[in-house]
Structures are given as structure tokens and as C-alpha cells.
A and B are shown apart, each in its own frame.
Chain A
Amino acid sequence: MTLTKRTWIQLAGWGSLAAAAALVGCSKKEETTTVATAPAASAAPAAPAPAASGPLKIAFAYVGPVGDGGWTYAHDRGRLAMQKELGDKVQTSFVEKVPEAADAERVFRDMVSQGNTLIFGTTFGYMEPMLKVANDNPSVKFEHATGYKTAANMRTYDTRTYEGAYMAGVVAGGMTKSNVLGVVGSIPIPEVIRNINSFTLGAQSVNPNVKTRVVWVNEWFNPPKETEAAQSLINGGADVLMQNTDSPAVLQTAEKAGKLAFGWDSDMTAYGPKAHLASSQINWGPYYIKAAKEALDGTWTGGGNTWWGVKEGAIDLVSVSDKVPADLKAKLDAARNGLKDGSLVIWKGPITGNDGKEVLPAGKAADDDFLRGIKFYVKGVEGTIPGGGK
């Protein structure tokens, strides 16, 4: 039968190729010698032995490219700060563009097999894969950003980006002439809605007449879409733009249209010098240094959550433009100092939702749990949250 013969020939061809490749592989030396290359088949896998005298190996998983000028760039800056501070005691590495999907699990397992004992996952979507790998490797420490599930060897961390959004709002409220602010939203999760709300509250603190309009691109990073979304906000009358997406596209669109905007996650001044008012910049360095130090001196414990803000130096509004008049700058500084010493509580009642219902009674300050579950727009934000804020 000719077909069978063809199949056998193909098999032989591929087989010989594979055999050749295997020969090449077997003649190479093993790369890392300190740890096992795969978790054992039994339920209790062998834990990789930590290198006693070598530097602490730390690995980072990024969802975007390091060059995004936004979210991932900020994380990498934090990693570099940690590396600089701790020098020879740590050895850091990263993998970028790890998708928030099943493949992430393989990347985390590979990081473990490479001898990393402290692993950072920098986006919400890594939660389930990290949890799985954490459960299989009890002696490796896992840090998950912006998530909520923990384990004995896994904890979560985040930055109070809403404080940066509030400060930006203060500037926006004072700079807008049309009283219409525009926000390009990424994904309608509580973190982003909280930022939109805080931005509006900040603006209302200096200008009670502002309205905020929101357009969602449903992605963290998509510059062409962000451009179109920003353009449509400008078309609708917004003259100051804010974003929760990870690229400078919104700022660039504002620059082209002669409007004003903010940088987000990193300092984006260079992308739109004429339009740039200020950048809400996340500083992951202090937390990363703390976590690494704890891992080094053995005081690291899992299961908790760290949520740092202006007070701890994790977020700030930087590169405030000279376009901002002195009196507005003074208000901004007052807000910043208030956040630093705790005298300013952004989420303190009375706060009303945009459907008219009161969400925080007068005088009551919201706790972290309330903040984590925000599914409503405050008064002044137009529209409803997609997917229905239940």
C-alpha cells in the first residue's frame, strides 16, 4: 500500500530528525545544577533546594512588554531599583508578555525549575496559575499584584493608584474649561472604577461642576484603540483626558488635538510635552526592596496583603507641568501632604452614587474592603458601568 509506505517514510524521517536532536541535546552540559527540573509525579513534590551561598534568585512575570512606557515599564523600574539597592545579594530576571491564560502556569513552573525562590506576578490574570504552582512548591515564595487569593506561600500586593488618580483630578478640575473630563477605561474592574471615581472626586473638590465621561476599550494595552477612544471623548467635548490603560496613546491624541492629559503608571511627559499636565507614577521599588529583604533575612510570610499609597512612597503625581497655575499647584500640594500624613481621606462620606443613592454616609470613612468592591460610579460620572454594576 503506497499510503502506508509514505507514512512509514515520514515516520522514519521525523524519527531520525528527533534522534539527531536528542543526540545534540545529550552532549550538552546541564544549565542549572541547583534544582530539579520538574515537579515529581507524586502528590508531594520535591522542593528545590535553595542555593545556600549564592544570591537570592528572583523572577518577574510581566503581562506587557517592558517598553510599554506604562504599567510593565513601572514594574521593571521597580525591579531595577531593587537590584541596585541589594546588589550581589539578589539575581533578578524577567519574562515579558506572559499571557493571562493557561500558558502562564508553564512559565511560573519554569521559573521555579530555574531556581527562583521569590516570584512576582504583575497582573490580576496570573492569580489561578500562580496559586496552582504555589501549592505544588511550598518552599517558593509567590507575590501576586492586584489579586485577592492567597496561600501559605503566596501573598498579594497593590498600590493605591486611586490616590494618584485623585491628585490628577484636582489638577484636572482646575484646568478644564469645558467642565467635561474624559477617561479612557481599560477593563471595568473595581480597581479601574475606583480610579475613575477618585479622579472625579478630586476634580469636584476644586470644581463642583465637572462631569466625567468614560469610554471602555476592554483591554489593558491597545494603542490604536486607545487613540480612537480618546478621540471620541474629545469629540464629545472633553478637554482634559485621563486614562487607565497602559500606553501613552491617550496623551498623544490629546497632544495632537490641542487638549490636556495625564500620564499613567509612568512619567509620560516625553510623549506629549504640550498636552502633559502631570503623571501619576507608580513606584514599585520600595515594596520590591521590602519583599526581597524579607526573603533574604527569613521574615517573609505568606497570606497577607500590602496596599501602599502616597504615604509609603508607592505612588505620586510627578512632573507637574508649568501650565498649572500656582494656586492650583498649592491645592495639589495640600492634597498630597494630606495623603502623606493621613489627614486627607478621599473616600469619606457623604458620597453619592450617580444614581442618586447614598453609598457612604456623612463622616464615615470607607475601609479597604469597601474600596476593593466598588462597582458604582459616583455622582458626576456619566453612564453606567458595562456588565452592570450589580
Chain B
Amino acid sequence: MLKLETRPSPSRAMSLASPLLALAITVVIGTVLFVLLGKDPLRGLEVFFVEPVKSVYALTELAVKATPLILIGLGLALCFRSNVWNIGAEGQFIVGAIFASGVAMQADASTGRWIVVVVIVAGAVGGMAWAGIVAFLRDRFNANEILVSLMLVYVADQLLGYLVYGPWKDPAGYNFPQTITFLKATQIPKLFTGYRVNIGLLLALAAVGAFWLLLFRTYAGFQLQVGGLAPAAARYAGFSSRKALWLALLLSGGMAGLAGGLEVAGPLGQLTPHVPAGYGFAAIIVAFVGRLHPVGVVFSAILMSMFYIGGELAQSRLGLPKSLTGVFQGLLLFTLLACDTLIVYRLRWKPAHAAKPTPVLKPKEGV
């Protein structure tokens, strides 16, 4: 029968192949689903994997969707590598959007383009502040960061609701819960006219490089990784786990907040109750599927975006339900975790009832 046997050392080949294998399994299950639903599976796969990259417009839409995923995914990858489990990136995203909107709403007709910088920075600051609460409570009171960050997501959501239904509501908006549409000066500059992709994409790509440098070329990054892989060794070496905690949370919160600010000052152009789009949770999958590596995060973000857009297109082109997107994403993470075991273990075919050779004990001389 098949048995799992520990490898002598973790297999590097498998750690690269695992996401691909997981994707392959997900695709196979997806094909089965399509057939069960009575749809042409090839057409289904085409809608999910080909349509989103078929034209320039489609590619720009893919970039628009992938940008927040990359940004948040980078932060989370760093966080998870440090063994800090920030599940509340969605809340940090929302608060970043709130801060960015607050700044954007201060603009008037005479404000120059420089305000865009302030808006973006404000977004990052907002996310950092929200994650800072988590860090503080963990640092000072030992409160579990998973639960605190998660509860804060709900709190952030309610805070957003309060602001757009109350003090920040557009007075000319017929009492609808939304802020004013931000003035043109505050809007994130687009990369090409006619398409929605904006400089956020450039920021994301720059961040990929920055995070790679931080993680793999700086002492601080080294400390973070050791702290995550072998906490006892880190303590012995004198690495401060407190510093790691704060750095990880502030960075990931800042990235999530940045993504929120870009989203609200970019494609949306105003703050509405619908700003929370689930990016904070999807980014968790992005981080894992990307092997917690900055470059991997880019590819997995693109893949996740294809799932999102493909799911939308599957609805309008094939009449498939929207929830398929969620199924694929969850399935991908699940299969990835399963395939990851093959990095540490390998499958061996062992005949059942094989007699174990008993070592012959030789009496030691001179004992």
C-alpha cells in the first residue's frame, strides 16, 4: 500500500512543482464540475484562463484586479514568514480606504496634483494604524493576533458604514450612503487613457522588488524569517520577537491600507459601503499559492484575478453561477496544502505485511 515516508531533506523540486500540481488538480476538478453542470468544459476553461488575457483591455482589467492582491499578498507573505498570522488584512484595507478618502475629500478646485501622494500615503498610514492595534494588543497583552485582527475586520466594516451613512454622506446624494465623488485632482493617475489601469500597478511591481530585497537581502528580513522558522534559535541569537511582530504587522497593514487607498481613489472614485471586496482574504490564498515569495505572489495574484474575472465572464457567457469563483479559490488553497506535504514526504509503494528485517545484535566488545 501507499505509504508516506519522510524525505531525507525537503525537496526543492516539489516546492516549485507543488503550486502547479495544485493548479492542475483544481483544473481537473473544475472540468468535472463543468461537465456536471452540463457545460462544455473546454469552453469553461477558456472563459477562465484565456478570455481574461485575450485583448489589451482584458489585460488591463486583469492588472486592475491583480494590483490590490499583489500589494496585500506581499505584506501577508512577509507576515506569515514571520509566523505572525494577520488575518485581518481586509479590515486594514477598509481603514486605509477611509483614511485616503478623508484626505481626498479635503481637496477643492484649486488643489494641485500633489495631493495624490498624500492620498496614497494616508491610505498606507490608515492600514498601519489598524494593524498597529493588533500589534499593540499582542505585544502588551498577549492577545492572539488571529482573533483580534479578525474581529477588527468587522469593526472596520461598521466604521465604514457609520461614516458613509452619517458624517461623510454626500449632501447632494439624495441621502444615499456614499461620499462625494472625489475631485479629478485626487484621482490616481491612469497609465493609458481609455483603460482603468493606473500607477498602482507600478507601485505594486516596485513593491515586489522592495519586498524581495527586504526579505532576502537585509538583516531585518533575515531576522524575520528566522523568527518564523525557528523561534528558539531566533531568541538564542538575540533577535527581538517584539520587533519582528511590529515590523510584520505594520508592513502588512500598510500594504493593505495602501491597496485600499488606491482602490478608493482609483477605480471607485468615492467611498461607498461596498469598498470591502474580499481582497484581504483572497490575498491570504495569493500569499500561500505564491509560496510566500514576492515573485510568486505576482503570479498567484494574476491567477486569482483570472478566477475572479473568469467567474464574471462565466456568468454572462455560459450562465454559470458566480460562486464557482469561490469554489476554485478555496479548492486551490486546499489542494496546495495537500500537495505541499509532498515537499516533506514522499509516496512509496510498500507491500503490506512485509517482514521487517530484524537487525542482528552483536554484543559490543569491551562493554
Contact = CB atoms under 8 A, between A and B. Distances in A.
B57 A31 contact: no
B166 interface: yes
A338 interface: no
Interface string A356-390: 00000000000000001101000000000011111
B196 A105 contact: yes
12 contacts: A6-B16, A37-B54, A95-B312, A95-B315, A100-B272, A101-B272, A102-B277, A105-B196, A114-B317, A136-B194, A218-B273, A373-B174
Interface string A215-228: 00010000000000
A76 B273 CA distance: 25
Nearest to B12: A6
B275 interface: yes
B166 A101 contact: no
A103 B177 contact: no
Contacts of A53: none
Contacts of A22: 50, 53
Given A114-B316, A373-B174, A128 B269 contact: yes
Contacts of B166: 386-388
A24 B46 contact: yes
Interface string B263-303: 10001111011110100000000000000010110010000
Contact of B50 (A25, A43, A97, A114): A25
A162 to B, nearest CB: 15
A96 interface: yes
Question: What are the 8 A-B residue pairs with the smallest beta carbon separation, nearest first?
Answer: A38-B57, A25-B50, A101-B274, A102-B267, A387-B165, A41-B194, A387-B166, A21-B49
B170 to A, nearest CB: 11
Nearest to B162: A387
B193 A41 contact: yes
A44 to B, nearest CB: 10
A59 B322 CA distance: 17
Contacts of B263: 102
B72 interface: no
Given A41-B193, A103-B277, A96 B181 contact: no
Contacts of A18: 53
Contacts of B277: 99, 101-103
B240 interface: no
A10 B165 CA distance: 47
B312 A106 contact: yes
Contacts of A45: 194
A45 B193 CA distance: 11
A103 B295 CA distance: 26
Contact of A38 (B49, B55, B296): B55
B106 interface: no
Nearest to A61: B316
Interface string A96-118: 11011111011101110010000
A31 B12 CA distance: 42
A245 to B, nearest CB: 15
Contacts of B192: 41
A97 B274 CA distance: 13
Given A6-B16, A37-B57, A103 B312 contact: yes
Given A100-B272, A107-B312, A7 B295 contact: yes
A38 B46 contact: no
Contacts of A42: 193-194
A373 B176 CA distance: 11
B171 interface: yes
B267 A390 contact: no
Interface in B12-32: 12, 16-17, 20, 23
B309 interface: yes
Interface stretch (A182-190, A256-264, A285-293): A182-190
B214 interface: no
A344 interface: no
A100 B274 contact: yes
A194 B275 CA distance: 27
Interface string B50-68: 1101111110010000000
Nearest to B176: A189
B161 interface: yes
B180 to A, nearest CB: 12
Nearest to A44: B194
B174 A101 contact: no
B175 A387 contact: yes
Contact of B57 (A39, A124, A187, A387): A39
B313 interface: yes
A110 B269 contact: no
B81 interface: no
B222 to A, nearest CB: 13
B268 A101 contact: yes
A148 B12 contact: no
B191 to A, nearest CB: 11
Contacts of B12: 6
A151 to B, nearest CB: 15
A345 interface: no
A132 B105 CA distance: 21
A387 B275 contact: no
B96 to A, nearest CB: 16
Contacts of B49: 21, 24-25
B154 interface: no
A236 B109 CA distance: 50
Given A7-B295, A10-B16, A24-B46, A110 B194 contact: no
A41 B61 CA distance: 14
B195 interface: yes
Contact of A95 (B268, B293, B309, B316): B316
Nearest to B54: A25
Contacts of A97: 322
A189 B175 contact: yes
A209 interface: no
Nearest to A107: B312
A390 B171 contact: yes
A110 B313 contact: yes
Nearest to B166: A387
B168 to A, nearest CB: 10
Contacts of A188: 165, 175
A96 B299 contact: no
Contacts of A21: 49-50, 53
Contacts of B334: none
A132 to B, nearest CB: 9
Contacts of A218: 161, 165, 273
B272 A125 contact: yes
Contacts of B195: 41
A267 to B, nearest CB: 25
A188 B56 CA distance: 41
B303 to A, nearest CB: 9
Contacts of B57: 37-39, 109
Contacts of A187: 176-177
